[in-house]
Structure 1
Amino acid sequence: MRSLLRTRSLLRTPESGSLVRDSSLVWLAGGIVGVSFGAVSVAGGLPVWVPVVMSLVVYAGSAQFSTVGVLLAGGGPLAAAATGLLLNTRTAAFSLAVAGIIGRGRATRLLGAHLVTDETVAFALAQPDPVRRRRAFWISGLGLFAAWNTGVLIGALAGSALGDTARYGLDAAFPAVLVALVLPALRADAAVRRCALLGAAVALAVTPAVPAGVPVLLALAGLLLHGRGQRTAV
């Protein structure tokens, strides 16, 4: 409890205003894609509570889309769950990257682990110092969680009224925001650029041959190049 109170006080600083402003674009994108997810799920025949509860408990956009896609295509719950778990394995690497940022205390770490996403980690690591990284993680993470779940609820309630959600181009919102977030790190660090280029090359090469979502996992091969560089430096 004390660790959560310290985290709350950390968010009440003048510097937090700029982080709220900077992360608002991520929240907006999350809310829009959340509307799409809720609408697609209900329009496909799932009850409203399924995407809503999944977003609160699982909270993983790409894994949720893939899981619902398997269910709507006629796949069983085990296949759908396996697909979601496979896609979510990438968050293991993300969690290691922000383990020292989240803070101490069991409750704080548990909540922080639930908020780990591609966008939150990218936004946090783009900050210049440890204190600002921690503020950025919590501000972006809590805001994105709220925006995503609000969007999912709106989309689920709207159901099929939105029509074909693909025509709005909502699937491009998250990738565009993520690219904007990681550009500063790519400009500042040549080693990060090399890792990113290797990961992107692997993902592009395997995309025609593997199921959706798997290229993202295979792109983690870029981390091998980073590890080799670290060992060489030592």
Structure 2
Amino acid sequence: MTRRDLPLLLLITCGGFGVVRSTACGVCPVVPLPFFQNKRVSVGVLWTKETTSPAECATHCSRFGVIRYFGFKDGSGECVAYTVPLTTPAATKYVDESGFNMYSTCAPVNPFGSCVSSSDCTGAETTCNDGQCVCDMMHVYSHGNCVQGCSTYGSEFTTFRNKDLYEHNDKFVGNVPTIEMCMDLCSAETNFLCITADYDFTYHGCYLSKTAWYDAPSHMIQDSTLYHGIIRNCA
């Protein structure tokens, strides 16, 4: 299966930097971080991919509610998405690298808010995941609510680090470099309705499934050191 082109995003270049316009987050500025120019942050990496500009990098980041910062390598187009907050170089781990610059951007609006622990999440059926309150693994996001089942599924996903849905794999795709590409494969699958997926971030495998987490036996929902769980949201 070939990778599906990224939908929904329109890039606009403005003043030497980028403005991202998408259905997920509206108009979003891409802002260079002056203290992180020619520096590569070495912690909190969610994924790495090749793009053509900081603005294109930001469009990919806009699909993930946990991303507020990214790095872009001039010349090579390397785009690195981060989940860690960035304040000053002294407060994080980094290496000096010419041409690798850090940027801030916005993420899709999260109606449930940010969190430190799940006790901070007051919405029904929500939990804390990478600093953001999201629908728990037994539910999917639908227009501000957490539900079980969608009349129509969309192209946005919620990811859960170090989780996987065991033995419910309807299709395997190997050599998938990023978790975002695994999401695209789930959205584009035509032989069955892909609802969830597991991404093997060590060996870059993408396991697609037509089974929702709430439809699987509880012992099939496992902690993992190899996988991230992917849950498809409603349209």
The TM-score by the shorter chain falls in which range?
under 0.3
Compare the two structures and name the one with the higher strand fraction: 2
Bigger RCO of structures 1 and 2 (CA < 8 A, at least 6 apart): 1
More helix per residue: 1
Give the TM-score of the pair, scaled to structure 2: 0.24
